[in-house]
Amino acid sequence: MSRALDLGRLRAIARKEMLQLRRDTRSLLLAFLLPVVLLALFGYAITWDVDAIAMAIVDQDHTAASRELGERFEASGYFQVRARPESPRAMIPLLDASEVQMVLVVPPGFSADLGAGRTAVLQAVVDGSDANTATIVLAYARAIVERHAALVRMVGSYRPPITAQSRVWYNDDLSSRNMIVPGLVAVIMMIIAAMLTSLTIAREWERGTMEQLAATPVTRLEVVLGKLLPYLAIGLADVAVISILGVWVFQVPFRGNVLLFGVLTTFFLAGALGLGMFISATARSQLLATQMAMMATFLPAYLLSGFMFAISAMPKALQLLTVVVPARYFLVVTRGIFLKGVGLSVLFWPGLAMLAFAVLGVLLAVRAFRKELD
């Protein structure tokens, strides 16, 4: 058997795999429909934006100053006043039933303290059963109160010596979708790519065609590359579709170079597809291969790539583990190209890591395929 890579044999294997794909409706649905469905589900379901916060105001001061403060909360666009209990005791059932997320208590003498130049005390009671939301709600409330206090001081002819102005780059309105959708490209394609090719070699075994394939004058590398190329084309088409949907439907900006994005995506998909073929050659069963591919891709890509949780906030042991998660590097690429418009000078090392992943994935698939062809 010739060990040289023959383009004619490679095209024959790729054509054979494409014909099998055309007859396999389930694989075609998995390839083209599932990425769009996952993008829609995750894109709309996952959000870290906190708005329309239900709140109650216990106004024990009953003055124009206390009413003005309440109006300030409503005008912010983040809070909606749902109730105005007469006493702090009456707020307990509202919090117990989760009818409100925060209660603002304005004590008696609030207006008098402001007029006399004394520190006026307020109390914000927040439902802490969701710690992340509670933290954001408190931050919003603190910002509104501080802004209101600054305006009151300015009315009193006092101007603070320093005025801080903040500016956010790359995601001006701090929309969580701008961060989630580029990350979904990495997570979804890691799952889909590995699951697609996890069926290829296992399908040959289950259909009894592996012996025929082994008898043909093809090398292991030609079989792996020939089976991988059609799925690589499908994967690139999937990335293009979900990227366009992300920009068009979710209004996520795309500021980078399309060609660079395509090249780095090719590296990532080649590695993920090679991993799927390695699993397929090892499992020899489509059901087992699918389960193994899901376990090897979904949990690491979803939890350890930096998509859901910041890697810097993880324990040191998990931070070290993320080094071998390919989606971590593609996540840097997608967010960098989508939101920041950065080039190869910034993405060189993530790109190199994905190129290494591509080579490793193909080599693992070739290695695992040895017994079938020998």
The pLDDT tens digits for 47-85 are: 777 778 999 999 999 999 899 999 999 998 899 999 999
Q: CA 269, 274, 278: angle at the middle one, nearest 5?
A: 150
Look at residue 9 and tell me whether its pLDDT is greater than 50: yes
* CATH topology assigned to domain 53-155: abc type-2 transporter like fold (3.40.1710)
How high does pLDDT run on average in the chain? Answer: 85
pLDDT of residue 346: 93
Q: Which DSSP string do the residues of 72-99 spell out, in sequence order?
A: HHHHTSSEEEEE--SSGGGHHHHHHTTS
pLDDT of residue 322: 93
Site of tokens 């216990």: 58
Question: If we measure between CA atoms, which residue out of 63, 176, 173, 45 comes closest to residue 111?
Answer: 63
**Which residue stretches of 24-175 are H helix?**
25-32, 34-45, 64-75, 91-96, 110-115, 131-155
If one counts every other C-beta atom within 10 angstroms of the C-beta of residue 216, the result is 14
> Is the pLDDT higher at 211 or at 201?
201
Look at residue 373 and tell me whether its pLDDT is greater than 60: no
Of 30-39, 48-57, 155-164, 274-283, the least confident: 155-164
- pLDDT tens digits for 264-318? 999 999 999 999 888 888 887 777 888 888 888 888 998 899 988 889 888 999 9
- pLDDT-derived band at 374, boundaries 50, 70, 90: very low
Q: What whole-number distance in Å separates Cα of residue 188 and Cα of residue 242?
A: 10
- DSSP element (H, E) containing 102: strand 102-106
pTM of the model: 0.79
Structural contact between residues 278 and 364, judged by C-beta atoms closer than 8 angstroms:
yes
Q: Compute the average pLDDT of residues 305-334.
A: 91
Q: What whole-number distance in Å separates Cα of residue 168 and Cα of residue 363?
A: 43
Domain positions in the chain: 7-46+175-373, 53-155
Q: What whole-number distance in Å separates Cα of residue 105 and Cα of residue 125?
A: 8
- pLDDT tens digits for 239-260? 999 999 999 999 999 999 999 9
- pLDDT-derived band at 326, boundaries 50, 70, 90: very high
Distance of CA 109 to the CA centre of its chain: 48
In the chain, what's the furthest Cα-to-Cα distance? 96
Structural contact between residues 70 and 81, judged by C-beta atoms closer than 8 angstroms:
yes
- pLDDT-derived band at 232, boundaries 50, 70, 90: very high
